[in-house]
Amino acid sequence: MRCVGVLLLIGIVLLVGCGNKDDANQSQSDSPRQRTLAPRVTPTFSGPISLSLWHPYQGSNADALQSAAAKFTEANPTLTVTLEYYASDSLLADYQQAVRQGGGPDILVTQSEWVGRLVENRLILPLGTALIDEVGTRTDSPLFQSLDYQGQYWASPLTADLLVMYSKIADITLVPRGIDDLLVVAGENGVVFPADPMNLLGLYPSVAFFDAGGRPVVDEEGLTIVGTVLQTLAANPNVTFSDDPSAFVTGSASALIAPASLYPTLFAALGDQLRISLLPEVTAGVAWRPMLDLTLLTVNVNVTDESLRAASLFMGYLINPEVQAQLAEQGDFMPLMNITSTTDSATRLYIQQMRSAQSTTLDPDFYTTFLPNFANLLTQMRQPDADIPALIGAWLSESATR
């Protein structure tokens, strides 16, 4: 899938070898539940069932998903899965309209920010117990925690993504342990940090950004750390806030904080000069825990009981390690778990990063109310002359009244 150069492998080995014990303990505590997955009983069906799945993929990702569906049918001859492409900017609206008219697909490829509203509008069904158990056993805890909303599980994961740090070996010969180190070693060449506020939430110095109910937990101390870091970065002429990787690929920037899924594209452009590393510490001993970016599968509220059982069987099939490996090999999907013992170095590091990531939430209020307001606060605190304590005090006061 992703051929990684010797220098990349050496860099990762050195990085992992130098990791502190807290990182190791975190990886162990965030691992999937330590038990053997019970053999799943394949449900029986009264006759052939055809499932439809709406998705936004084109090219290799569509081909990979189609190949997985074909192999599923081979193993389950009475079941077929038909994939239908819909443009990403119209997929949700088309789905909502179709379901309200009594139709729509059996399965929808869904974003985290859609799920809560789909639940509230009664357009999807909760997952069955067997599928929940399988997802909980096969995935790491931050990912599994992200699927709970109002005490039920509504979505099964297809793929996950998160931030990592890329660097050019010619410019950065040592892996920076902290952001201060990164700014020093990047020197005049510069560093590109993400502009998307969802990615910058990982700077918040907390083991969990969301509470058990999926609500963000923020306090004055944590906000002060975030604001100070952002203001320090913005004041540095070598720092750029952008979600466009071209400044790193074709420009002079030495380092880039960007999604792990960009690795194939970056490696194709930079070859063995590219290195991928864990995110640097925010401040000494405070890890930058990236937020998970999940692509999920949900089930239409209009499906029959048999179609629901068939859809659950297919969704469980897609999180098998063998299928995850196939999706990652044939497309640009990022796997949900350490898929094989021979997984390439870049994917192993991505899996390590995922185990210490922040869970996300399915609560629609987070995306419609909290995140825009929080993004505005981050932008304001980033200004060189910003009064960070005053901004935080005003924001906390306004948040308490919402």
Average pLDDT for runs of 10 along the chain of length 402: 36 37 38 47 81 96 96 94 96 97 97 96 95 92 91 95 94 89 89 90 87 88 93 92 92 94 93 93 88 96 94 95 91 82 80 89 94 93 93 90 66
Give the pairing of strands 163-168 and 274-277: antiparallel
The reply to whether 215 falls in a domain is: yes
225 and 154 assigned to the same domain? no
Q: Which residue has the tokens 């081909």?
A: 63
Residue 43, pLDDT score: 75
81 and 136 assigned to the same domain? yes
Ramachandran region of residue 349, left (φ > 0), alpha (ψ -120 to 50) or beta? alpha
- Count other Cβ atoms within 10 Å, centred on residue 11: 24
The reply to whether 19 falls in a domain is: no
The reply to whether 80 falls in a domain is: yes
279 and 376 assigned to the same domain? yes
315 and 343 assigned to the same domain? yes
Q: Find how far residue 178's CA is from the centre of its chain.
A: 22
Task: HSE, CB side, 13 Å, CA atoms: give it for residue 78.
Answer: 14
What's the maximum distance between 2 C-alpha atoms anywhere in the chain?
69
Residue 141, pLDDT score: 86
Q: How many residues does the structure list for the chain?
A: 402
Distances (CA, A) of 26 to 20, 222, 356, 358: 10, 20, 6, 12
The reply to whether 42 falls in a domain is: no
Instruction: Decide if 234 contacts 241 (C-beta within 8 A).
Output: yes
Domain residue limits at 185: 163-291+363-402
Task: HSE, CB side, 13 Å, CA atoms: give it for residue 25.
Answer: 4
For 360, phi then psi, to 5°, come to: -105, -165
Return all residues near 61 (Cβ < 8 A) that are at least 6 apart: 331, 332, 333
CA distance 64 to 365: 34
Residue 188, pLDDT score: 83
From 339, 355, 371, give the residue that closes a domain: 355
CA distance 191 to 166: 10
231 and 273 assigned to the same domain? yes
174 and 285 assigned to the same domain? yes
CATH of the domain at 168: 3.40.190.10
248 and 391 assigned to the same domain? yes
Instruction: Decide if 260 contacts 240 (C-beta within 8 A).
Output: no
264 and 396 assigned to the same domain? yes
The reply to whether 34 falls in a domain is: no
Q: Which residue has the tokens 């009475």?
A: 78
277 and 327 assigned to the same domain? no
65 and 155 assigned to the same domain? yes
Distances (CA, A) of 346 to 5, 10, 224, 264: 10, 11, 33, 10
Q: Which helix (H) or strand (E) holds 51?
A: strand 49-55
- The whole-model pTM stands at 0.85
259 and 316 assigned to the same domain? no
58 and 110 assigned to the same domain? yes
Beta bridge partners of 85: 55
Beta strand residue intervals within 247-346, DSSP E? 255-259, 274-277, 293-300
What's the total number of domains in the chain? Answer: 2
- Count other Cβ atoms within 10 Å, centred on residue 8: 24
The reply to whether 203 falls in a domain is: yes
The reply to whether 35 falls in a domain is: no
Q: Which residue has the tokens 């299928």?
A: 323
Residue 36, pLDDT score: 52
Return all residues near 94 (Cβ < 8 A) that are at least 6 apart: 54, 86
Return all residues near 368 (Cβ < 8 A) that are at least 6 apart: none
- Count other Cβ atoms within 10 Å, centred on residue 84: 10
The reply to whether 262 falls in a domain is: yes
Tokens describing residue 1: 């899938």
